[in-house]
Chains A and B, each alone.
Chain A
Amino acid sequence: MTVLSLDSVSKSFGSLKVTDDVSFDVPEGQALGIIGPNGAGKSTLFNLVTGNILPDAGTIRLNGRDVTREPAMARVRAGIGRSFQIPQPFQKLTVFENLLVAATHGRAARERDMRDPCAEVLERTGLLPKANAEAGRLSLLERKRLELARALATGPRLLLLDEIAGGLTEGECQALVATIRAIHAEGVTIIWIEHVLHALNSVVERLLVLDFGRVIGLGDPAEIMASREVREIYLGIEI
């Protein structure tokens, strides 16, 4: 079954076309990586999928249902969880409260029923010792983990990760990758935008390359990385 399907999706900001006729499907349980240089339109693509912005043209389907014009909150409840490139926790809420809010509203559930699931998410993301810490006081790694934890708390069928490994040390990155791999092993479909390619390639089964808002490659990660066009685009970036 296809979890996410984009059909000829385009978006412009003024005269700048940031998403140009993008089409791809993501089957259930697959991990898809998205790469591309800065400004290629990767985060915009996520914003289109989550409903932060609406496309000028094209169709976005989630589990076969057309959600192109649905607001962000409806898409969360339909099963999309997202982490941000720059962590955006609710600063004044504790770590646990961040998860509670996400779980309660993301799943349209009662708060008291979400306490145990949130505690489990905290445990698996290594944040249990920080449960009562104010989110605004966390370190970068902890914030990244909170981004992941909060997205998981919404009970997603499709998890969107936006450069979650960026800025972490190698050890921190490895630990985070292990967590993501475990989540994926449970059957959660993942789309992961990342510049840390070795981390990305250790998880994803398919790779999509964006450049100037266009899809210029989609397929097996090894084949994609071997292609000349992709290497040219990434010239100067360590592969």
Chain B
Amino acid sequence: MIGLDTLVQGVLLGGLYALFAAGLSLVFGIMRLVNLAHGDLIVFGAYLILVVVSVLGVNPFLAALVAAPVMFALGWLLQKVVLNRTLGDDILPPLLVTFGLSVVIQNALLESFSADSQRISMGALETASVDLGPVTVGVLPLITFASAVLVIVGLNQLFYRTAIGRAFRATSDDQVTASLMGIRPDRVFATATAVAMLVVTIAALYLGTRANFDPSAGPARLIYAFEAVIIGGLGSLWGTLAGGIIIGVAQTVGAAINPEWQILAGHIAFLLVLLVKPRGLFPQGGGR
């Protein structure tokens, strides 16, 4: 059952890519901001969790809980102080500023932690597996995928069941009218980025525990995130999960044929979807 096993592993890998992409999708869906530093923020989050694990000697899951409010505050400040100033009709300023931010984060991490690759140890969980009949899957990939689904469900609940979610959608729809209803778009955007950074923290946890990472690992994660978001349809959270799964399956199938084809297969799948459905599988204006 190599074929089924490959597909299952691909789907589970897709969960990780969906986690990379969900924050990007959230921010783009609300404020049409393409954050080129998204991958570097994930890597920054992984280093932060690594530091917490090292200093406090706690489990990585607990360390992520400690890192989450720090990342939330960082996201809020980043948007309020820096990124809000770049938003407007011209799409170039946010691209330039987040590209610059990406360079700054990479160099700061390089100065602080060197270029050596790191990994956050999960102990016995790293090798634990469960037998699901025809396939055996790792517990950690399973937890990663479940986390991705929970994140998407949680974000959808936030969007459609809460006051701040309605403010997200209203501001995304029409910023000027939203301000005439008493909404402060700058605060809404800051909150959105702060929430996205919570998702980034979860993505960072699984990035750091499932693979080696170093200060230059961000841009590749950004590309996977972009591909997942674009395949799913810009601004669509469930589409982002589907996009992640498509890339994950393409990569594992590519790797099963020839290990050198893993990354290439993911990019080819992305291009094929783009050819057939240029606006993605589930294009939407809002965040659903």
Contact = CB atoms under 8 A, between A and B. Distances in A.
Interface string B177-195: 1111111100000000000
Contacts of B167: 101, 104-105
A173 B255 CA distance: 67
Interface in A81-125: 82, 84, 88, 90-93, 97-98, 100-102, 104-108, 110-111
B285 interface: yes
B163 interface: yes
A71 to B, nearest CB: 7
Given A101-B167, A104-B163, A90 B182 contact: no
A52 B180 contact: yes
B85 interface: no
Contacts of B181: 73, 76, 101-102, 105-106, 150, 154
- Which of B163, B166, B182 has the most A CB atoms < 10 Å from its CB? B182
A154 B285 CA distance: 26
A50 B163 CA distance: 24
A40 B4 CA distance: 70
Contacts of A150: 181
B284 to A, nearest CB: 8
Contacts of A101: 163, 166-167, 170, 178, 181, 183
A90 B173 contact: yes
A77 interface: yes
A72 interface: yes
Nearest to B172: A92
A230 B260 CA distance: 80
Interface in A143-163: 150, 154
Nearest to B185: A73
| B contact face: mostly helix, strand, loop, or mixed | helix
- Which of A71, A82, A100, A105 has the most B CB atoms < 10 Å from its CB? A105
Given A50-B180, A107-B182, A154-B181, A100 B174 contact: no
Contact of A73 (B163, B179, B285, B286): B179
Interface in B82-104: none
A77 B182 contact: yes
B176 interface: yes
B38 interface: no
Contacts of A50: 180
Contacts of B170: 90, 93, 97-98, 101
B169 interface: yes
B182 A105 contact: yes
A159 to B, nearest CB: 13
Interface string B143-186: 00000000000000000001100110110011011111111100
A63 B184 CA distance: 23
A96 to B, nearest CB: 10
A176 to B, nearest CB: 20
Contact of B182 (A52, A76, A91, A100): A76
A93 B179 contact: no
A73 B185 CA distance: 10
Contacts of A76: 180-182
Given A93-B166, A100-B166, A101-B167, A72 B179 contact: yes
Contacts of A92: 169, 173, 285-286
Nearest to B184: A73
A144 B264 CA distance: 53
Interface string B4-36: 000000000000000000000000000000000
A71 B174 CA distance: 16
B183 to A, nearest CB: 5
A166 to B, nearest CB: 18
A101 to B, nearest CB: 5
A187 B169 CA distance: 33
B163 A111 contact: yes
B179 A71 contact: yes
B166 A97 contact: yes
- Which of A90, A108, A154 has the most B CB atoms < 10 Å from its CB? A90
A93 B183 contact: no
A90 B177 contact: yes
A93 B176 contact: no
22 contacts: A71-B179, A73-B182, A76-B180, A76-B181, A76-B182, A90-B170, A90-B177, A91-B173, A92-B169, A92-B286, A93-B169, A93-B173, A97-B170, A100-B163, A101-B170, A101-B183, A104-B167, A105-B167, A105-B181, A106-B182, A111-B162, A150-B181
Interface of B: 162-163, 166-167, 169-170, 173-174, 176-184, 285-286
Given A98-B170, A101-B167, A111-B166, 4 more contacts: A90-B169, A90-B178, A105-B183, A111-B163
